[in-house]
Structure 1
């Protein structure tokens, strides 16, 4: 479980931890320890592994460690960064390259009837996938994959330009997560496993609460676009992920689950 110390990540751990032991992976040891303490109080068995998902060797070490503990049945990859606190280069490294690293490292160790769920974002739906994007996405295993995506993000002309550049990189990187997930469906099915993605909208996590507190106008504008009229609750993401990992969702494969309170339909489809 990457990103298990985050708001949605902890909610998912609490659900999956009812029936499975969990390996928490992330870059911040202090946050991992805090998350483990919360899970310990709930009786959830967990282990920690400091991992930078942008580093292929560290991700491979994580996969090897998880496999050493027992059968790997569920891989939940929630880790990612956004333009709110991360520059263009790291957005591409962590979101796009990190997704490739996770899939490539964990595919060999995923047990039969297992499932991998990668987290994308509603932002992936805000821009169309161009032919140039697809061509770059197809180079996922080439040495210049990162450089190709970085070139598509363009060059920043000033501070404001960098903000929009990072936003473009974020949407593109999350579109890649969906594309690469679906590109692996047949390969995973050949070993009787599933792979799919989830694109969350705005959930009331500690990170989103900071936006509400620090940029209330921006948050209010976001809320007006959500037909549900409220933020998502992390526990809802926990329940959704647990269902998608269950045998009841055994025929749900190779799709992206858009969980955004109806936001996209409300924006892009004329409403009655």
Structure 2
């Protein structure tokens, strides 16, 4: 009988010794993911709007992990290039979670070019260019994990959110394209598609009794998701347990898509 050593018993979900970068970690899904990664042992670099991530930094540090905070508007391409290069030069980044995103609800006939561009620059272009800047060092090193936050609207069209749906379809496409290109170099690129979560992005839906009821009636779990529901999926995709998972969009939706 083989005796397991302490090393061989190490959990494949253990992230000790790893450094994770998370965008938009100041609240909601991003905050829960950052804290979940810290609980699994990772140190964090938090990228987001000025002054928005102090509470997350404190939560990470409360778990005994390091947390660096850098200001970044992911819709600003020059800033993404500058901060991405700075982070890659200063640290060995093992995990990148592209969470930052916005949604703007309006009738499609009233959608302005400015609104369209804000959503696409934040949700899609910022995600791609940060992945490019930080992913380059992962490819060179031969190891890394990138986790993109997509949406159920990577599969569906939604209502009055055409720019958001387009951007999240794009996130799924980028995820698969980078997985194809970077997989042979040892870098896994996956995405999480959250279902209907109780976050700021869904406030309008939750406050509309008819929409809220119709949504809940379709979810087998019978409830809105919480930010904490996403953290476990992010830890899994960031860990060695997911070394053979690549180009996948993991739906975390309480069963919505099963209907």
- Structure-1-length-normalised TM-score: 0.76
Q: Does 1:24 align with 2:54?
A: no
Structure 1 pair 34–84 and aligned structure 2 pair: CA distance change class (3 A): farther
Is 2:143–2:186's contact at 8 Å kept on the other side of the alignment? yes
Distance 1:73 1:252 in 2: 16
Q: Does 1:104 align with 2:124?
A: no
Is 1:14–1:44's contact at 8 Å kept on the other side of the alignment? no
**Residues 131-167 of structure 1 deviation map (CA, whole Å, 9 limit, x = unaligned):** xxxxxxxxxxxxxxxxxxxxxxxxxxxxxxxx83xx1
Structure 1 residue 113: Cα displacement: 2.4
Task: Give the stretch that moved more between structures: 73-82 or 229-238.
Answer: 229-238
Distance 1:84 1:196 in 2: 27
Structure 1 pair 249–29 and aligned structure 2 pair: CA distance change class (3 A): same
Question: Who is 2:236 aligned against?
Answer: 243
Question: Who is 2:23 aligned against?
Answer: 2
Structure 1 residue 180: Cα displacement: 1.3
- Where does 1:86-165 land on structure 2 (aligned, <5 Å)? 87-110=115-138, 111-127=141-157, 164=160
Question: Who is 1:230 aligned against?
Answer: 223
**Residue in structure 2 matching 1:254, options 225, 247, 250:** 247
Distance 1:40 1:192 in 2: 30
**Residues 185-240 of structure 1 deviation map (CA, whole Å, 9 limit, x = unaligned):** 2321232111111111112335545753x434332222122122112232221111
Structure 1 residue 47: Cα displacement: 0.6
Distance 2:120 2:189 in 1: 21
Structure 1 alignment gaps of length 5 or more:
129-162, 267-272
Question: Who is 1:70 aligned against?
Answer: 91
Distance 2:223 2:76 in 1: 37
**Residues 159-187 of structure 1 deviation map (CA, whole Å, 9 limit, x = unaligned):** xxxx83xx111111100110111111232
Is 1:73–1:112's contact at 8 Å kept on the other side of the alignment? no
Distance 1:211 1:36 in 2: 30
Secondary structure at the residue paired with 1:23? strand
Secondary structure at the residue paired with 1:254? coil
**Residue in structure 2 matching 1:176, options 162, 170, 176:** 170
